[in-house]
A and B are shown apart, each in its own frame.
Chain A
Amino acid sequence: MRTIEVHDLQKTFSSRQGWFGARKVERALDGVSFHVDEGETYALLGPNGSGKSTLIRILATLLLPDGGRVRVLGRPLPGGEAEVRRRIGRVSVDAAFYKKLSARENLLYAAQFYGIEPTAAGKKALGILERLGLEPRRFHDPLEEMSRGMQQKIAIARALLHDPPLLLLDESTTGLDPASKREVQRFLEELRAERGTTILLTTHDMDEAERLAARIGFLARGRLVAEGEADELKQEAGAADLEEAFIRRTGEGFAPAAAGEAV
């Protein structure tokens, strides 16, 4: 079964400077098609502004697509929001928390959306956080007193509280120290092995993509320019490592196309 199915996805943002300014149009996704199988881990790589977060937001029901077909966990989007929301977990780059509330309060608040009983939620959250290397005594500290990496760990715990079959991770290891990063990666591998969790992740870390993902997609200027296993991608691009393949595939046509379209 395909957990994520995306066909010819389009998303444009338009904005106006002031009330009477000219309309500025930004094509964030331009005909993206791909799929992620159940239990598979798929990594999206792409330069800044290539549309990774936009794609994740659409899958997370936070943005409406302009065109194309999207199915998540067998439900169409738009249309299946209620079901999809119950069964996904998302970690975004910016940890979205109530900064004055403690980690515990933030997590219990989230758990109640899924009908999880507070005592059970607290125990589970502590378990995950300990696993990710957060000291239990920090559990009662307000989020504003925590470092970015600690907040990121709490965001990961929040996304996992309700055992979602699909995880959407938008640069979830950015800002973590090497040991924590490795801990998160090990944890994700375990989830996949034990629960068959499907994972779609974006990252700027080539090693992470190569280590975790069965398949990798290169996104550039809203288009999926290459897709496949790490070795395939390297071979196709005639590159020694993934970073070089990435630069060749996402860099190619970058400058010339930009110059061409500006006319």
Chain B
Amino acid sequence: MIPAFLRPLWAFVFRDFHLTRRYFSWVVVFTFYALVSSATIALIGVAAGDERLTLTLVLGVLLWSFLSAMFQEISNSISYERWEGALEYTFMAPVHRLTHLLGVSLFAVAYSVVRTIVIMVGLLFFVHLSFAGANLWGVLVASVAFMGLGLVAAILPVLSPENGAQATNIVQGVLLLVSGIYYPVEVLPAWVQPLSAFSPATYALAAARKLMGLDRPLSEAGTLAGAPLGAVTHELLVLALMGAVLVPLGLWIFGLVELWAKRTGKLKRTG
């Protein structure tokens, strides 16, 4: 039983759930592809015979699979609606834009978590993973900041139906490059490095590596020596701050773009 004030929020989860169900073959295809590419990356560590490298790559693969799935779901939500021809209908519905975007984000997080778990389980068939000693709890803290980024990116398809969807892919690519998913950001060329400071994923990864003990050699017993949550307060603070800025900023810009679209007639199906 859903309380009445939550029902509009639930409407978006309901819709996205059923859409995912109907497009399930695509979900399977994308997840399969993500799993295979994750495995090929993880096997680089296995080939090098370096357990810490393997775990670092696996962590990168899983975190990126989570964050990119969430980013994609949110930033593409408007494109989907435009594509289906339902954008005008959504914008005419008596729901606050915050509720709308929260509903979309809520499903995106749930979907990304499930997908990441599937990929993680899948990876076990390719590499032997031992997380003993790791502190797995702090790993998901980056999601809020990434949600904010997704919201900012969701605006682009409102601005321009085609170029907007293209631009979100560029943004995602840049995030993958600068966040140091599989390598320390220090190895990036000097002219790219400053950009990494603006990606929430950079801090999420840094924190996750510390929590899992991947930033230091393995213990004598060959297990990880994860740091306690207190060791990553800096990263958590930056992430919280980014979330606190990016989510309202995303909503605010979204509102501005919505007004612009209503002035210029860009909500129409054909744009």
Contacts and interface: CB of A to CB of B under 8 A. Distances in A.
Contact of A96 (B7, B14, B85, B95): B85
B245 to A, nearest CB: 27
Nearest to A90: B92
B11 interface: yes
Interface stretch (B174-182, B205-213, B214-222, B262-270): B262-270
A98 B262 contact: no
A85 interface: yes
B19, B22, B23: residue with the most chain A Cβ atoms closer than 10 Å: B22
A113 B5 CA distance: 10
Residue among B15, B84, B265 facing the most chain A CB atoms (10 A cut-off)? B265
Nearest to A99: B84
Contacts of A105: 14-15, 18
B265 A113 contact: no
A111 to B, nearest CB: 8
Contacts of A112: 7-8, 10-11, 14
Contact of B264 (A13, A82, A90): A13
Contacts of B94: 82, 85-86, 113-114
B88 A64 contact: no
The number of chain B residues touching the other chain, given as a range, is 20 to 34
B7 A115 contact: yes
B22 A142 contact: yes
Interface string B218-259: 000000000000000000000000000000000000000001
B23 A100 contact: yes
B84 A97 contact: yes
Interface of A: 13-14, 54, 57, 60-64, 66, 82, 85-86, 90, 92, 94, 96-101, 105, 108-110, 112-116, 142
21 contacts: A13-B264, A13-B265, A57-B88, A61-B92, A62-B88, A62-B262, A63-B265, A85-B93, A94-B269, A96-B89, A96-B269, A98-B84, A101-B15, A101-B18, A112-B7, A113-B7, A113-B11, A113-B93, A115-B8, A116-B7, A142-B22
Given A82-B94, A110-B93, 6 more contacts: A61-B92, A94-B269, A96-B87, A97-B84, A110-B89, A112-B7
